Structure 1
Amino acid sequence: MNKAMQDIESTTDAQDTGHAGLVTPVMRALKLLRFVADGGSTANVSDVGRRIGVNRVTVMRLIETLQFEGVLEPLPQGGHRLGLNFLTLAASALAGEDHLATARRVLTRVTTETGLSSYLTVLDGAQVRYLLCETPALPLVSNIRAGSRVTAHLTAPGRSLLAHLSTERRRALLGPEPLAAATAQSARTHAALDAQLERDRDAGCAWSQDGFEAGIDACAAAVLDAHGRPLAALSVAGPRTLVGTDTLTRERTARVVKSGAADLAILLADAPAFLAAAERG
């Protein structure tokens, strides 16, 4: 390797590792794998390098190494996809855990990143059922626990699930007007709820401010299957002092929740119980 290339490698090392002890080549390989898993093409290695922040020569070496190990495999039209060795490894890891245990890991991450309680819920008729709850190391402020059941349209996770059902299905589940209410903010008519759910669907998440419990704000996103049907919902909740009222904080919280829901959509895609819930919806 010539001096110029060593300088490039050293600069990239410094940019890649903000923490002592991290193994830079592994971090680069993971960046490349995430890029491919998200549908990125490796046909143009210079473009790949720009997108993942790694120089062109390193990208070429990573591809060659990962292909040799069966982690990547070439496509006839150019570029690469994840290889069978990688897929087998991932499948073996998932097979060693039940789906709720896997989901809890996502909730733990979401709670760590937001500092808020996180929940996994499913639609159960006109109610949402809370399957999992992960709380930060703070005093509990909500009455919601794992096992709780709440009228769906009164909560952020319930709204995020209802937003992905047909109008006819929603009305059949929720019954005649007036709809149940928890606070003055609760929608009492189907028309008002439909408008609220349309806003939730367009935003990709549902927000609730004092919507079910006084002083508690929540944000939820639906976990959707390949057909756009709701399998479950991921939500966070906490006192407004922790959730925050400024736009930047709320946008960050929404991003974390949506990202967690997207991960759960992959992890729960073949979970029979969740698929059954989607079929019922």
Structure 2
Amino acid sequence: MFLSAKRSTLLRRKIELSATLSKGLLILENLASSPTSKGLTAIASEADLTKSNTHRVLVTLKKFGFIQQDADRNYRCTMKLWKLGYTVLTQTDLPSVSSQAMRFLADSCNESVHLSVLDGLQVLYVDKLESDRPVRAYTQKGGNSPLHCVATGKILLAYNYRHLRSSVCAKLQRYTSATITSPRRLDKEMESIVANGYAINCGEFREEVYGVAAPIFDPTGGTIASIGISGPSTRLTTDTIEKLIPKVVQAGKMVTAELAGLQHSFRSE
């Protein structure tokens, strides 16, 4: 009789733990999809939970680094979620998944192609296809560039701006006369990038190098990488860039579709 009662208690505890986890995941998804931070009352109302239950979950999520509070004591997600997503991404071998799109872009544009991810407050080039032209933009696979002044970096910054703005705006270093160093101007640039679906670099990191990039989305809609081209300004003129934008955007959509297909395959196994 005692063992049966003990087993029943353990079962109830497992069910309670599952319920608690469900509440935590529900709140986490709610915050991750919100463009602004939220207060306790709003979170509890949207999750259909009591304030006391919601507060306990928020305290736990904050303790483990998944959320943080701003100056108004409202809650928002941290970059830890992105880091978890990036860990999963690296297990899918992003360069292999993106190889067809990169080759398409190289053949279509005949310029150097970059595949990039976030690396702190910089962009990391995880793969590259060099242009076969004698004069080309120089970057190195495994190398870094500032987020706010290269095309692939500006894409990653724009789509993760809510989490990165304060850190990036505190260090807006000037590299050329075209580098954006005003937080207000950067705000407008990021808004425009998200609205248009692509980013352009007009000599903002190196004066004679221009580029254009597009986002790569994971199956949940998060921007986990970017793909783009770069080349000398003598070839990548404003008119040329305008003609190449659809190709770059198409390449981003190709990788996004590949990642969605991978997720479907994993779920089917």
Contact 2:211 2:228 in 1 (8 A): yes
Answer yes or no: is 1:143 the counterpart of 2:134: no
Establish whether residue 216 from structure 1 lines up as the match of residue 209 from structure 2: yes
CA distance in 1, matches of 2:135, 2:262: 30
Q: CA RMSD in A?
A: 2.2
Shift of the alpha carbon at 1:209? 1.1
1:267 aligns with 2:258: yes
> Residues of 1 paired with 2:244 and 2:145: CA distance?
23
Q: Quote the offset at 1:173 in angstroms.
A: 3.7
Could you tell me the TM-score, scaled by structure 2's length?
A: 0.59
Unmatched runs of 5 consecutive residues or more in structure 2: 1-91, 264-269
Q: Which of these residues, 196, 218, 234, is aligned with residue 227 of structure 2? A: 234
Q: Aligned residue for 1:102?
A: 97
SS of residue in 1 equivalent to 2:235: helix
Aligned equivalents of 2:207, 2:262: Cα separation in 1: 35
SS at match of 1:243: coil
Matched, 1:111 2:102: no
Offset of 1:201 from its aligned partner? 1.5
**3-state SS of 2:238 partner:** coil
| SS of equivalent residue, structure 1 residue 157 | helix
Correspondence 1:257 to 2:248:
yes
Q: Deviations over 1:176-220 (max 9, x none)?
A: 2x5112112222232221111111111211111111112111001
Instruction: Measure, in 2, the Cα distance between the counterparts of 1:215 and 1:203.
Output: 24
Deviation at 1:269, TM superposition (A): 4.1
Which residue number in structure 1 is paired with residue 13 of structure 2? none
> Which residue of structure 2 aligns with residue 171 of structure 1?
165
Q: 1:104, 1:132 within 8 Å by CA — same for their partners in 2?
A: no
The answer (yes or no) to whether the contact 1:217–1:238 under 8 Å persists in 2 is: yes
Instruction: Please give the alpha-carbon distance, in whole angstroms, between the structure 1 residues aligned to 2:135 and 2:129.
Output: 11
Q: Which residues in structure 2 correspond to 1:82-97 (within 5 Å)?
A: none
TM-score normalized by structure 1?
0.56
Report how many aligned residue pairs link the two structures.
172
CA distance in 2, matches of 1:217, 1:166: 22
CA deviations over 1:4-62 (Å, ceiling 9, x no partner): xxxxxxxxxxxxxxxxxxxxxxxxxxxxxxxxxxxxxxxxxxxxxxxxxxxxxxxxxxx
Please tell me whether residue 205 in structure 1 is matched to residue 189 in structure 2.
no
Match of 1:21 in 2: none
Choose from 189, 192, 196 the match for 2:189: 196
In the alignment, the residues of structure 2 paired with residue 158 and residue 174 of structure 1 have an alpha-carbon distance, to the nearest angstrom, of: 12
CA distance in 1: counterparts of 2:215 and 2:105, whole angstroms: 15
